[in-house]
Amino acid sequence: MTPETVVQILRQALMTTFWLAAPLLAIGFIAGLAISLVQIATSMQDNAFSTIPRLLAFLAGLLFLLPWMLQRTMGYTIALFGDLGRYAR
């Protein structure tokens, strides 16, 4: 296996990881901003008030995006195993 092949495999793995994590991170960021604005407007500084809605937003996003994430992961895995013979040389 050449160094270029290893770099290509690692690059594909990192890009797949990025595209899988980006939507959930965006959901967490938007939920955090919205909760912070509500806390500023109401002067309520309770930790549970900021944590629970953010966790619920993550859960809803995960449940909504899970089929897409599984499809993307399976596509990467199938492509990686499909080229396994080429990598073994």
What's the structural domain count of the chain?
1
Dihedral angle sign, alpha carbons of residues 65, 68, 72, 77: positive
pLDDT of residue 88: 76
Model confidence pLDDT, tens digit, residues 27-85? 999 999 999 999 889 888 887 788 898 999 999 999 999 999 999 999 999 999 998 88
pLDDT of residue 69: 96
How far, in Å, CA of 15 to CA of 20, rounded?
9
Q: Specify whether the CB–CB gap between 57 and 31 falls below 8 A.
A: yes
Task: Look at residue 89 and tell me if it is in a domain.
Answer: no
**Would you say the C-alpha torsion 74, 76, 79, 81 has a positive or negative sign?**
negative
